[in-house]
Amino acid sequence: MALPWFILSTLLLLLLISAVYQRHALKKVSYTRYFSAKTAYEGEQVEMVEEIANNKLLPLPWLRLESSIARGLEFGSQENLGVSSGEIYQNHVSMFFLRSYRHIKRRHQVRCQQRGLFKLESVTMTTGDLFGMSRNSKAFSLQLELLVYPEIIDLYELPLPIHSWLGELPVKRWIIEDPFLTAGTREYSPGDSLASINWKATARTGHMQVHQKDYTADSRLFLCLNVEISDSMWRTVTDKERIELGIRYAATIAEYAVGHGIDTGLLSNGRMDGGGEREPVTANPMGQLEDVLGLLARLNLDRTLPMSRLLELVAEEGHKDNDYLIITCHRGPELELAAEQLRLLGNGVEWLDIPDEGRESA
């Protein structure tokens, strides 16, 4: 009789343990995950930190954490971390053993292989008893984001003859007089317009004085990034690597321009990642490089409309005295015509061709 009672009591004990774990295993378990930086550049390395704590007496013999994040981040090999990649997302599985009142912190090395906005919104936690009789799962909400900027390449990797044009941009910023800015008065010189005479200053000094105009600091550059491979392309981008190279060109030029005090905007017939509607990107010139790079990081290679039509819409607004740099894989006749409309309004228009062979031919 001893053996049957022993078996029965063992089964009852296992059922009791299973019931306890089913009811209490995930109580007072806290979890957080964060990156060591909110932003990084393509090719850089950051840390992803996991922290988990079991704030109760009941130990957890095993605990499994599973999450998904878009591809583009490369995780270094590490014990108790499994990574499997799909076409769009990669799955991460972490395993833990948590004793009573135990806190664990793990650091994972992550290399940013691609630009983009990487989000981790939730993680699923699963645990149970040692014998596998009970299993309990819970989803933890996370608002984790990592914004990866495009790589900024060496300025001299840009195709010729864009270097000379870039050198002229800061000069133009100081040689164009702004009729609405006055920096004082000066003596009249031959060739000065009579309309520029300051009569009050002339009467006060007894010499002919004219208004001294200041030079404008409102130089505005628009980077026009075309995601079309050809003028006959429809919505799908067939050569994403070539457009990615164009995005790196745009980031490099934005760094140069903003660094020289030139406000820089972005026009693109792609769309913003996560946007509700398929609208092109039309961002006015900004003075902060991070703002421009943030737009380039979020750019989705999904054509919303022909680039020629986007430039036509800009020309219809009648803006002038801006510089437009068209970064493109092609110069179709409709695109050339739209660029000429901008030029006839008094804007500067230049082209930067994205080569076929990628950076090696730059």
Whether 317 and 242 share a structural domain: yes
Query: How far is CA 261 from each of CA 156, 171, 287, 300, rounded to the nearest angstrom?
Result: 20, 11, 7, 28
**CATH number where 47 lies:** 2.60.40.1530
The single residue listed with the structure tokens 């902060």 is 288
Whether 67 and 126 share a structural domain: yes
Residue 9 forms part of a structural domain: no
The 10 Å Cβ neighbour count of residue 83 is 16
Residue 81 forms part of a structural domain: yes
350, 323 Cβ separation under 8 angstroms: yes
Q: Kindly report, residue by residue over 222-242, the tens digit of the pLDDT.
A: 999 999 998 777 777 889 999
Whether 268 and 255 share a structural domain: yes
- Residue 7 DSSP class: H
Residue 15 forms part of a structural domain: no
Distance CA 121, CA 203 (A): 72
Hey, which bits of the chain come out as E strands?
29-35, 39-41, 45-54, 60-70, 73-75, 81-85, 89-98, 102-112, 116-128, 135-149, 177-187, 209-215, 220-225, 263-268, 271-272, 281-286, 299-300, 323-328, 348-353
Structural domain of 323: 155-174+217-361
Q: Which helix (H) or strand (E) holds 8?
A: helix 2-24
Whether 341 and 269 share a structural domain: yes
Whether 258 and 205 share a structural domain: no
- In three-state secondary structure terms, 136 is strand
Distance of CA 239 to the CA centre of its chain: 20
pLDDT for position 180: 47
Q: Which residues, listed in sequence order, are joined to residue 35 by a DSSP beta bridge? A: 48
Point out the domain boundary residue: 132, 149, 166: 149
Whether 352 and 208 share a structural domain: no
Q: What is the domain count for the chain? A: 3
Q: Kindly report, residue by residue over 126-147, the tens digit of the pLDDT.
A: 988 777 777 888 888 888 999 9
Whether 354 and 237 share a structural domain: yes
Whether 227 and 139 share a structural domain: no
Distance CA 355, CA 243 (A): 10
pLDDT for position 360: 45
Residue 263 forms part of a structural domain: yes
Whether 73 and 100 share a structural domain: yes
pLDDT for position 213: 54
pLDDT for position 319: 86
Question: Exposed, middle or buried, 100 (CB in 10 Å: 0-12/13-18/19+)?
Answer: exposed
DSSP 336-362: HHHHHHHHHTT-EEEEEEPPTTGGGG-
pLDDT for position 329: 95
**What are the b/e assignments for 15-52, b being 16+ CB within 10 Å?**
eeebeebeeebbeebebebbbeeebbebeeebebebeb
102-112: strand order across its sheet: 29-35, 45-54, 102-112, 73-75
Give the whole-number percent of the chain exceeding pLDDT 90: 47
Residue 287 forms part of a structural domain: yes
Give the chain's residues under pLDDT 50.
Answer: 175-176, 178, 180-181, 214-217, 358-362
Supply the pTM of this predicted model.
0.79
pLDDT for position 326: 97
Residue 211 forms part of a structural domain: yes
Whether 31 and 114 share a structural domain: yes
Q: Kindly report, residue by residue over 260-269, the tens digit of the pLDDT.
A: 889 999 999 9
Residue 17 forms part of a structural domain: no
Distance of CA 263 to the CA centre of its chain: 18
Whether 114 and 246 share a structural domain: no
Return the CA Rg of the chain: 31
Residue 101 forms part of a structural domain: yes
pLDDT for position 314: 96
Whether 303 and 165 share a structural domain: yes
